[in-house]
Structures are given as structure tokens and as C-alpha cells.
Structure 1
Amino acid sequence: MWQTSPTRFTSAEAVLPDLISDIEATVAAHRCGTGAAAERREVLRVAAACTGCCVRTAAEWDGSTCLLMVADRALRAAEDADDPLRIAAARWNLGHVLLSRPGQEAEAAEVALSAADELDRMLTTVDAIAVRGALELVAVVAEARTRRPWVARERLTGRVAPIAEQVGEGNTLRTVFGRTNTELHAVSVEMTDSDAVEGLRLADRADVSKLPSTERRFTFGVEVARCYDLRRDDAAVLVHLLELEEFAPEAVERSPLARLVTAFLVVRARPTQRRQAVGLAERLHLL
């Protein structure tokens, strides 16, 4: 639901409270019960996946202040399950939580890279290699946001791209790691560095049509719109924002970058574009 539904926010809001309660109750029952160790481990693995992936992501988009608690619970469940792959995925989630907190990019990179090194020593399966690549991408984002785009580019080409070629396309533990996601991160690095020309050149090479995550496709679309915004190409900005609104209306309303680009567009809009730009801003409650 979270990765594919265009109404994933309202859909998630309808099921998450009961899901969280069920997870907590089930974990508690197996902690105190006399059930088999294998069954308890499976319950903890499910708890780590649900809490870390779905609950964390939904809370992040809604601006929740409990993100660190959610990430910590997912990590503890993975550690209690003694599952190296899910421990690494939980640290991937924690890395994204830290990325959402301005000023903690260095901590995000440290968490992700230490988890990648540990996973590399413990597992050599294709899934483990894919999660390691996803962890490296957390460091790429952190490096780009701390104004070190050359380091981010070097990591993408020297470490992440070879991993992506090795594992191909995939969605191990909902990390969406693969060649396409690596290409999208290259666009993100250039956008963050305000190099709109290079960002758009790289975007033209990416095919997101088969990407399994609506959220990742949406983020790519917003970053392309931002590249056009940097070039003051308002017609292209408007086209991309309206397409995104049709594709994922709830995400547009909750995306800080989409709202920022829309605000810039309204200020600059030519008379022929102003009606649509103002209409979009009003639907996003910016006016």
C-alpha cells in the first residue's frame, strides 16, 4: 500500500493505529509466552520491518516528532531477532530519520556506513549486497547536503554503481535499491548542488516507469521540477507539478520541496501561467 497507492497517506492513516497496537501486543505475548523460539524470531522480524519501514516513513512525511523512537524500536526488534539483514535495514531507516533532521547529516552517514561495513563482514547474499548499496546511498545524500557533491559523486560512481550492476533492480526490504535508484540519486546530487543542467541531463537518461515505489518516483519528479525551477523555466515547472499532483496528490501537499517550488512559481508566473499556478498553490493551502 505505502509503496504503490496514490492515496497512501489516507490509506495508511486508516490502518496504522491498529497495526501498531497489534504489533506491540504480539511482540509482548511472544516475549512472555512459551512459544517456539523460531516463532518469536519471526514475530520480531515482522515488527522490525513494519515499524522501521512503513511506520517510520509515514511518520516522516507527516512531520512527526517521534521518528527517533520509531527507528529505535525497529532496531531493537531486529536486534532481538538476531537478524543481520534486518538490523542493517533498521539502521538504513535510522539513517533516513537523521537525514530528515537538519544538522545531523554526518551522523546519518556514520550510522549507514558502519552498518554497511558490518553487514559486509557477516553476509554475502544478493539481498545483503543490495541493502549495503542502499546504506551507501544514505551517505551519498548526506554528503550532497553538506555541500560535498564531489564526494557524493565519487561514492556513486566508485562504490554504489558497481553494487547496483551486481544486484540489478530490486526492492530488498523495501529499500528500492538498484540501477534506477542509483541514477535518481545522481540527479538528486546535482539538484542539491544547484547544477540544473547536469541534473536534467541525467534525468533524461532515467526510466522510472518500472520502479516499484511511488514515493521514489514522486521524489524524482519533484527534483526534476526543482531543476527546471533553478533555470527559471516556469512552463516546465508547472507541467511537472501538475503531473505530480495527478500522480500523487497527497504527496504533493506534504512535500516541502514541492511546496517551495510552487511558491516560487506563483511569484514568477507569467499571465498565461498564473491561473494554473495560483490554483495549484490554493490547493496546497499556500494562499
Structure 2
Amino acid sequence: MGHASAEIGALLRGARCAKRLTQAQVGAVCGYSASAVSRIESGRLSLGYSSLMRFAAFLEIPFDRLCASAVPDIVNVATVAGGCRSDEEDAVRRRELLTGVVAAGATAVVGAGAASAVTPPDDLELSLFRLPQAAPVPLPRLVSRIAVARRDFCATEYTRLGQALPGLIASAEATRDASAGRAREEASVALARAYVLAAELATKQHSDAAWVAADRALSAARSSGIPVAVGEASRVLAIAMRRSGRSTAAVHLLTKEAADLDANRDHTGAVRTTLLLTGAYSAAAGRDRSTALSLLEEAEQEADRRRAVPGLFTVEATRTQVDVYRIGVLNVLGTPDEAVKVTARLDVSHLPTPERRARAWTDVARMWHALGDGRQTFSALRQVEQEAPQEVRRPALRALTAGLLYGPAQVEGLRDFAARTGALTA
């Protein structure tokens, strides 16, 4: 291969190593085997434009570094017209750079026969990269629209939410740009919450678009100067970090943001508790048992002494929610047997939304699956379906169902369940 392929390969390898990712992890996201990634990094396999965009977006390679590597079929934008790029040009090119990875992530979301069960990939891409034209709207109307979108998320109406997000985000950006002073701060909060919803939807779909949406959410939140908004956005960004294998960095972000919030006020204290819960799960993902359990205990203490603050967040700061996270943490740590007693006292009906109740039953299903109890696993999966039909068709749930279907246990009704939820492959 040529000099350019070797330079690109070295650039990709350096970015991957800096993130402490394996070739298999990068390949899984970008659509290549580990051996193919090895050949790419050694310069023995060249990448087309769209594939290169996926690698660059996932590895967060700055556009100037990419262009400096002299890729033959990409214009060196660093020297176009012999001058510097404008901020607007940079923004356009960043959107182009990231489009490929969104498409790749969305493709992995929709399995055979399950296209109607999840948000169409084009809606997700539109919400981040192809925003429609929109005029500013009165702030109360914008806030009301975001409240409706959040209700759709909590009700697991993911298809409807995906259809609404492009126009919602475009309106929020137009309103923010046309505002000044306190009104601009409030519009920035609204924009941050719209992007938080986009990040959460992308996370549900296992799409790397979650990175982009979360980053934009945090940028808008910091511009507002509102601690609650910063905390909400930090949480979804940390989830994206954790899912890319950066659990330690996610815990650091979450604990730092939690420390900046006042635990004695209901609103900021509730966000602080949700950050601690997400930090506990992230620590567990990094196999740090002591930190995970310590953060859980701190979150539980705060939840016990704080009255509920309804309607603000997708994760409620309640004792029941702490128990749900405890089950998830123990599952991830590889000790699901310790979660059985937590499950025995868990009353899922106390959770306020179908999305949260479905998530709780998902963690219970994972616990029973890890313990080898197929019938209890299937029973929990049926509860997920009862709470949220769209939730049970998510990639993670379809994979769990498929694992149960092709496992040693014969469970009555499972095959029909797998067929209607998209887990049964031809």
C-alpha cells in the first residue's frame, strides 16, 4: 500500500491506543473484523471515504490531523483557498465527519423484521446532522414541546420521539440563537434537554450518535450556567464514555460533577443522586467493585433523606431506583446471586414510567439469565413487553431473548415471543 495508507493506519492505531481500545472493539463499531483493523493500521488495507469517516468519528480524530495525512480522495481542507477555515466551515465538516458513524450505528440497530420496532435511522441522523429550517418560537411553547418529547421517551414511544426530534432540536437552536440575556440561558437549557433526549434515544439504539448528542447537550448546558442542566448532560455523556470502554473516565466525570452540586437542595440533590447511580454502574463496568458499591451506598443515603422531585429526570432519585441500579451493578460485577435478595424486595410498580419499569425488569431478566434460570428470565422478559412493547425489541433485549431461545432450556411460549420481538433469525 501507498504512503498515505500507512500514515492513515498509524494515525488510527495511535488514536485507538490512546483510548485503550482493542482492535476488536473498534472493528465491532466500524464494521470490520479485528484482523481487518490490524491490516488497516499496518497500511496493508486501505479505507474508502465513508469507512474512514466512521473510524475517524469513533476515535475522535480532529479533522486537521486527518487531512494532514494526505488521503488521496479527500480534499486537504486545511489549505483550501490558502487561508483559515471559518467556524461555520468547521462545523459543517465536523457534521460530515460524524455522519458515517451514525449511519453505521443505526444499521446495527435494525434487525431483520424489526424495522418498525425502533426509530428509523434516518430520523436519528436528521436530528443531529440534517436539521430542518426552523424559526424561533416562544420559550413556553418550546418548553412544552420538550415536555411532550420527554413523555414520549418515558412511555417508550421511541418511533414518535425520533420523528419529533429533528424539528424540536432545530426550533431549540433557532430560539437560543435569537435570544439574549436570561432568555438565552433558558433557551440553552431547553436545547440541552432536547439533546439529552437525543442521546438517550441513541443509547437505546446502540448508536454512536449518542456521543455527538451528549457532547452538544453538555455544551449547551454549560452555556446556560444552570447546574441541573450540566448534571443531566454530564450523565448522558458519561454513559456514552462507558459504552466505549472508558469506564474510569466516566466515573471521574460523574463524581466531579456530583461534587459540584448542592446535596441539600431537592433539585440539585436529585441530579446529584442520579449521577452517583450512573457512576456506580460505570465503576462496575470497569470492574471496580469497591467504588461501585461505595457510590451506591452514598446514593441510597441521599435518596432516603430527600423527598421525591417528580417530572424532572429520566432517572428518579428514589430508594426503588437505587435498588434497580444495585441489581444492575451486581449483574455487571458478575455476582448476580447477590442481587436475588434485592429483587425479592423490589416493587417495580413504584417506578413512575414505563421506560423505568421496563428497565427494571430487564435487569431482573439479566440476573436470572446469569443464574441459569430460563423460566424466570422469560417471565421477566414478558414483563418488559407488557410495560413497553418497543423496549423489548431493542438490540440488547433481542440478543438476550436469542440467547435464551438457543440455550439448553426449553421454555414454553419463548419461540413465539422471539418471533414477534424480532429475536428469531431465519
TM over 0.5: yes
TM-score range for the pair, normalised by the shorter chain length: 0.7 to 0.9
| Helix, strand or coil at the partner of 1:175 | coil
Q: Does 1:279 align with 2:416?
A: yes
8 Å Cα contact 1:92/1:112 also seen in 2: yes
Q: Which amino acid aligns with 1:286?
A: L
Asked if 1:237 corresponds to 2:377, the answer is yes
Match of 2:188 among 41, 44, 58: 44
Q: Deviations over 1:29-78 (max 9, x none)?
A: 22xxxx5x2222211111112212x1111121123322222112111212
Q: SS of the residue aligned with 2:390?
A: helix
Taking a change above 3 Å as real, the CA distance of residues 247 and 175 of structure 1, as seen in their structure-2 partners, is closer
Rounded to whole Å, the distance in 1 between the matches of 2:214 and 2:154 is: 22
Q: Is residue 108 from structure 1 mapped to residue 258 from structure 2 by the alignment? A: no
Choose which of 141, 165, 168 in structure 2 pairs with 1:16.
165
3-state SS in 1 of match to 2:154: coil
Name the CA distance, whole Å, in 2 between partners of 1:244 and 1:119.
Answer: 34
State TM-score, norm by structure 2. Answer: 0.60
Kept in 1: contact 2:154–2:356 (CA 8 A): no
Q: 1:174-208 CA distances to partner (integer Å, 9 max, x unpaired)?
A: 33122111111111122223323321210111222
Aligned-residue offset at 1:106: 0.9
Structure 2: distance between partners of 1:138 and 1:4: 18
What CA distance in whole angstroms lies between the structure 2 residues aligned with 1:174 and 1:241? 21
Provide the rounded CA distance (Å) in 2 between the counterparts of 1:58 and 1:155.
26
1:255 Cα deviation (Å)?
A: 4.3
- How far apart, in 1, do the equivalents of 2:261 and 2:383 lie? 39
Distance 1:189 1:279, change over 3 A: same
Q: What is the TM-score normalised by the length of structure 1?
A: 0.87
2:308 matched residue in structure 1: 169
Whose helix proportion is higher, 1 or 2? 1
1:123-272 equivalent positions in 2, closer than 5 A: 124-157=264-297, 159-171=298-310, 172-256=312-396, 258-268=397-407, 270-271=409-410
Structure 2 partner of 1:4 = 154
Show the counterpart of 2:176.
27
Identity of aligned pairs, percent?
A: 25
2:223 matched to 1:96?
no
How far off its partner does 1:147 sit?
1.7
Q: Distance in 1 between matches of 2:233 and 2:370?
A: 35
**1:98 touches 1:108 (CA, 8 Å); kept in 2?**
yes
User: How far apart, CA to CA, are the structure 2 residues paired with 1:269 and 1:247?
Assistant: 27
> Deviation at 1:12?
0.6
Counterpart CA distance in 2 for 1:66 and 1:142 is: 19
Residues 176, 187 of structure 2: 8 Å contact kept? yes
Contact 1:245 1:252 in 2 (8 A): yes
Q: Report the number of matched residues.
A: 273
Conservation of the 8 A alpha-carbon contact between 1:3 and 1:212: no
Please tell me the residue identity of whatever aligns with 2:337: V
1:49 touches 1:173 (CA, 8 Å); kept in 2? no
AA in 2 matched with 1:62: Q
Q: Deviations over 1:140-174 (max 9, x none)?
A: 011111222233123222x1111111214334443
CA shift at 1:24, angstroms? 1.8
> Matched residues in 1 for 2:317 and 2:239: separation?
14
CA-based RMSD: 2.0
- CA deviation after TM superposition for structure 1 residue 15, in Å: 1.1
Relative contact order: is structure 1 or structure 2 higher (C-alpha 8 Å, sep ≥ 6)? 1
Q: Distance in 1 between matches of 2:171 and 2:308?
A: 33
Asked which structure has the greater CA Rg, the reply is 2
**1:43-122 superposed matches below 5 A:** 43-52=187-196, 54-101=197-244, 103-120=245-262
Question: Using a 3 Å threshold, how does the CA distance of structure 1 residues 175 and 266 change in structure 2: closer, same or farther?
Answer: closer
* Residue-by-residue CA offset, 1:64-108 (whole Å, 9 max, x unaligned): 32222211211121222121221122212211221222x111111
CA apart distance, 1:3: 4.3
Cα distance, 1:230–1:63 mapped onto 2, change above 3 Å = closer
State whether residues 26 and 43 of structure 1, in contact with CA within 8 Å, keep that contact through their aligned partners in structure 2.
yes
Give the SS at the match of 1:194: coil
Residue 149 and residue 78 in structure 1: after superposition, are their counterparts in 2 closer, same or farther (change >3 A)? same
Q: Alignment partner of 2:208: what SS? A: coil
Partners of 1:69 and 1:246 lie apart in 2 by 32
The amino acid that maps onto 2:214 is A
